Chain A
């Protein structure tokens, strides 16, 4: 054991294993994936066999989701159940919305409206035709898909922010339609209640009823996460990532044969259907639908959740939702200030981070890299030597020691180069030398062969020239200048001067 624990490598989870299972992988049946990304290897230091967990994300997911499921059941209060219920509901919407904005790259702000359509359709059908809740869920899914189809039509022709505007308009128009429509709760300020419930109203008063209701919400969140994983992590996700960030990328994707428009609409339809399902679930859980599903403020809160967590990532959507919903529903005594705080968080994350909370790590790494490069560039005096911050990048520490040693030697030799030494070499290039000159010449002799200066005999005893070896077999040496020397000693000295020059310029 070392005395000082430096670096973060020791924090990577690892397990010692027997030989037989070192390279064994457990795959999910029917796929080539494994749940946890283990890497079998021999520890370079101890030479023990070990398994290293290269991706800790699934562990965090498991712990986080378990906490999300267990905390309200352990606490068992109605307020906590309702807060966590909203967290699950909004997180499910946000994850699916992330699929639309992030994976498909469509700036649609009508996701909450799709949920609303699912909820109102399911409630209306349940009230009018008395259908039970399983059929309500199916109906909600179908209406969500229908809504998705309708709003995906203009997506083919409009791009970017134009489409964003249009979708904001759609949700606002739907809201005002519901306010004024007679059959959809125009008389109760938009609220429509009386649908079939999964957990009946009497059962909701008991603790077990609340638990069941909460677990159902949690299950809906799991479903939406599964959809996200399947779509975004699957083939279609890869296709879409090719065409994601810019117009050039789109052209590139089209050129290599990816029909990204079709892929986008496909993802859009899937997420819309799922959003409709979430809406129908809302109706079966709450016993109806209310106008807040269409309000601009609610949409903005959802957007704030996604932006604070980090756009385009499922974990960003979930964690952002937890933060905002908690602020919004736990600190109700703060009044409007809590929404101001949410807005402030949203503004700060847009102004100071590139991609919310979960983009922060990458951003910090980049800042550190930039600082490193800057300090490397300013420290010219130690050129060629080892810099402390390069330590983690060089795995063979012997290389570092060797570089340090070479640098020390060069510093020493440079001090010894004086006019007297040069004069001594000029007088007798081969002859008996003083200690310092002999050491300098020894240093030159052991330099690597590439770019080494040597004497080239053009014609014996008449013309000699200085050339530099290429160091590559079959590649001839190159001439370094057009001077010719009449005898060998002059040529030796010319080579010596060149090497001295290089040593001086090399720090």
Chain B
């Protein structure tokens, strides 16, 4: 039972990190960032390069400092990738006609190029990341949970909480929420669309980078490792209501548990169908997702 909850929460926190990033970008920038997979993989490779460098030059293969460095560099790398996406797709296009569709296509183009460039540099093989939480297991009564799972859940929750607090308390957060509610109005009172948009892209990138490092514990990093998180993240942010943090987290928990339960009691091949049916059911009753805050605002 505890194992089920743990695996459900692990999935939920991974999905949540990516989905919150996508949702944040969409609501404040007005662009669907389909290059989030590229951003995700970028952070993973930066963390991998760091770990490789440390292992080669200083023979550090584990330890708290290395773990911290891997997580931080993964996040920074992905934030930079987010800024690259912003520089290529958001800054040149955001004041042109038909920005939503053109932005979407531009991010898709970036994601095509990104995958191939990773393939050129790193080759198609998967690269391992160091086990940042160690490989021991935590014993609760007769059940045991891997430290990795506990760490993933804790770190994801803490980071999401920090982002939520930052959005609610800080001045930048206020600006971003203003952009979400009414971009034109925010612009009129002096909120810079460009600066705020780039910050939103960097933050969502950092979240994706964290997810990448955490997921890298299980699946390693490969040029196409960003596709699956991107798709699931998109679906979750859709079901959660693009732009709503609580809705997105709720949807991530729902879909994570749906996946954990389905995978445990039936076959793995049913997972997509269950998730998909769940999302369709949510969207049938609430077409704007669980959060549903952005009713027609973006039109």
Contact = CB atoms under 8 A, between A and B. Distances in A.
B113 A168 contact: no
A164 B235 CA distance: 10
Interface string A276-307: 00000000000000000000110011011001
Nearest to B98: A354
A169 interface: yes
B235 A169 contact: yes
A363 to B, nearest CB: 11
Contacts of A307: 105, 109
Q: B interface, by DSSP: helix, strand, loop or mixed?
A: helix
Contacts of A172: 227-228, 231, 272
Contact of B104 (A164, A174, A336, A337): A164
Contact of A166 (B112, B238, B272): B238
Contact of A346 (B93, B105, B299): B105
Interface string A150-169: 00001001101110111011
A350 B299 CA distance: 22
Given A166-B238, A169-B276, A247 B299 contact: yes
Contacts of B117: 336, 340
A180 B267 contact: yes
Interface in B209-241: 227-228, 231, 234-235, 237-238
B273 A173 contact: yes
A252 to B, nearest CB: 15
A154 B109 contact: no
B113 A343 contact: yes
Interface string B97-128: 11011101110111111011101100000000
A162 B283 CA distance: 10
Contacts of A127: none
A210 to B, nearest CB: 31
A186 B89 CA distance: 38
A351 interface: yes
Most chain A C-beta atoms within 10 Å of own C-beta, residue among B97, B102, B108, B227: B108
A1 B127 CA distance: 74
Contacts of B88: 347
Contacts of B284: 154, 157
Contacts of B235: 165-166, 169
A139 interface: no
A164 B108 CA distance: 13
Interface residues of B, number: 48
A350 B109 contact: yes
Most chain B C-beta atoms within 10 Å of own C-beta, residue among A169, A170, A176, A297: A169
Contacts of A161: 26, 32, 100, 104
A354 B101 CA distance: 11
Contacts of A186: 269
B105 A303 contact: yes
Interface in B231-288: 231, 234-235, 237-238, 242, 267-269, 271-273, 275-276, 279-280, 283-284, 287
A339 B106 contact: no
B54 to A, nearest CB: 29
Given A157-B287, A166-B238, A351 B120 contact: no
Contacts of B63: none
A166 B283 contact: yes
A261 to B, nearest CB: 14
Nearest to B272: A173
Contact of A297 (B26, B112, B269, B299): B112
Q: A interface, by DSSP: helix, strand, loop or mixed?
A: helix
Interface string B43-70: 0000000000000000000000000000
A452 B272 CA distance: 82
A158 B287 contact: yes
Contacts of B231: 168-169, 172, 296
A474 interface: no
Contacts of B134: none
B247 to A, nearest CB: 14
B30 to A, nearest CB: 10
Most chain A C-beta atoms within 10 Å of own C-beta, residue among B26, B34, B108, B109: B109
B112 A346 contact: yes
Interface in A152-204: 154, 157-158, 160-162, 164-166, 168-170, 172-174, 176-177, 180-181, 186
A301 B113 CA distance: 11
Given A336-B117, A347-B113, A162 B276 contact: no
Nearest to A247: B299
A247 B67 CA distance: 50
A63 B242 CA distance: 48
Contacts of B273: 173, 177
B92 interface: yes
Given A336-B116, A337-B120, A304 B283 contact: no
Most chain B C-beta atoms within 10 Å of own C-beta, residue among A307, A342, A351: A351
Contact of B120 (A180, A336, A354): A336
A340 B113 contact: yes
Contacts of B113: 339-340, 343-344, 347
Interface string A102-117: 0000010000000000
A495 B176 CA distance: 66
A431 interface: no
Given A169-B234, A343-B116, A177 B108 contact: no
Contacts of B32: 161, 164-165
Nearest to B275: A173
Contacts of A347: 88-89, 106, 109-110, 113
A107 B101 contact: yes
Contacts of A354: 97-98
Interface string B62-90: 00000000000000000000000000110
A273 to B, nearest CB: 22
Nearest to A355: B98
Contacts of B272: 172-174, 176-177
A335 B119 CA distance: 10
Contact of A170 (B100, B109, B276): B276
Interface of A: 107, 154, 157-158, 160-162, 164-166, 168-170, 172-174, 176-177, 180-181, 186, 247, 296-297, 300-301, 303-304, 307, 335-337, 339-340, 342-344, 346-347, 350-351, 354
Interface of B: 26, 32, 34, 88-89, 92-93, 97-98, 100-102, 104-106, 108-113, 115-117, 119-120, 227-228, 231, 234-235, 237-238, 242, 267-269, 271-273, 275-276, 279-280, 283-284, 287, 299
6 contacts: A161-B32, A162-B287, A173-B276, A176-B272, A177-B269, A346-B105
List the 4 closest A-B pairs by CB distance, nearest first.
A180-B269, A343-B113, A343-B112, A173-B272
Given A165-B32, A165-B237, A168-B34, 5 more contacts: A157-B284, A158-B287, A166-B283, A296-B231, A304-B109
